[in-house]
Amino acid sequence: MTEIVLSTIAGLVLFLFAIAKLSKSIQSIIGERAHGWIQKFTSTTISGVVVGVVVTAILDSSSAVIIITIVLVNSKTLNLRQAMAIVLGANIGTTISSQIIAMDIGKYSPILLLIGFVLLVVSKFKRVNNLGRVTLYFGVLFFGLFTMENSVEPLKDEPFFSDWMKTTETPMKGALIGAVVTLIIQSSSATVGMAIILAKKGLLSLAGGIAVMLGAELGTCSDTLIATIKGSRQALKTGIFHLTFNLLSIIVGLVVFYPFVELVKFVSGGAPIERALANAHVLFNIFGVLIFMGTIPFFERCLNRILPDHEDIDQ
């Protein structure tokens, strides 16, 4: 059991390390272009959502995109409505990683590690070095997943673990577990990734995986809320909107939980459970954005009324 725990922790640490480094490395390559894209293409709610999707898919981190958005709101480069649209898009963009995780490409991670290492060490060109660094971190990310996948295999024979995982099939308990795990490790992608791995190994049912995924959506709000500390009122409103949107989406998801599970099964057809869980992640976030996208003006009015800007208070 000690070996299982240590191997799982090692895989998780590699995964979290790779996510953090990937986001920073890609941001350093893109530089101010990401800021420019966000500013230029957010004139409407739909374009703002699209920007959120695309930039999050590129940076592989919804938290990074939302934090960048909060920085731009603080500098008054973006207004609240633009920021809210980007937040919605970021929730869809983050589902790309779950689709990649479900592809079972972890066993090929040494190839990425080798290519990245060679590009990083051999070339003297900065662009090639940056490309090598990104490739290397992708290799580390997938190797971390591969390590976790192999380490949890023996848990099939552990009755206590099977009994504990069955509790996730109760939607509220599963969502609570997902929220707490995400709050601790500060990565919804890692939480969903672990759920996909456990489901693939037969340790987690589709319903349990979806419940954990719902909770992960709430846990991921903590770091963006921290980013609003000492920020402007508009930045604080952006963080509160992110929390409110995720919370309301989760409530709706819990209310229609079992019909949603059946919908995921129908859409996924005969796909493996890990693919079905990744599909559930995509469907949940797309439905959430479609439901709440039209309510952005309403939320904007409510937030402005609850948290008026300082100049409004002075008047």
- For the chain, 315 residues long, give each residue's pLDDT as a single digit of tens: 677 778 878 877 887 787 777 767 766 666 556 666 676 777 788 888 998 898 888 777 777 788 778 877 877 778 888 889 999 999 898 888 888 888 777 777 888 889 988 988 887 787 788 888 888 888 888 888 778 777 766 666 666 666 767 778 889 999 998 888 887 776 787 888 888 888 888 888 999 999 999 998 887 777 777 777 777 888 889 889 988 999 999 999 999 999 999 999 999 988 999 999 999 999 999 999 998 888 888 998 999 898 887 654 444
Give the global pTM: 0.79
Q: Which two tokens stand for residue 30?
A: 């893109």
Among residues 307, 288, 242, 295, the alpha carbon closest in space to that of 65 is found at 242
| Torsion angle in degrees (nearest 10) through CA of 254, 84, 282, 57 | -150
pLDDT of 313 reads 45
Structure tokens at 278: 């990744």
Q: Is residue 216 a contact partner of residue 181, using CB atoms and an 8 Å limit?
A: yes
- The two tokens of residue 142 are 């997938």
Phi, psi of 17 (to 5 degrees): -60, -45
Return all residues near 287 (Cβ < 8 A) that are at least 6 apart: none
The residue with tokens 């990937």 is 22
pLDDT at 153: 66
Dihedral of alpha carbons 209, 212, 217, 221, sign: negative
CA atoms within 13 A on the CB side of 244: 15
Query: How far does CA 50 lie from the centroid of its chain?
Result: 16
Q: How far does the chain reach from its first CA to its final CA, in angstroms?
A: 64
CA atoms within 13 A on the CB side of 224: 34
| Residue 121: how many other CB atoms lie within 10 Å | 10
How far is Cα 42 from Cα 52, in angstroms, rounded to an integer? 9
Distance of CA 310 to the CA centre of its chain: 33
The runs of H, that is alpha helices, within the chain are 2-30, 33-40, 45-59, 62-74, 80-93, 95-101, 109-122, 126-151, 159-166, 171-185, 188-200, 206-219, 221-227, 233-255, 257-268, 273-292, 296-306, 310-314
Question: Exposed, middle or buried, 127 (CB in 10 Å: 0-12/13-18/19+)?
Answer: exposed
Compute CA distances 205 → 102, 171, 272, 315, whole Å: 15, 12, 12, 56
Radius of gyration of the chain (CA): 20
- For the chain, how many structural domains are there in total? 1
**Which pLDDT score, from 0 to 100, does residue 272 have?**
92
pLDDT at 40: 72
- Domain boundaries, position 265: 2-314
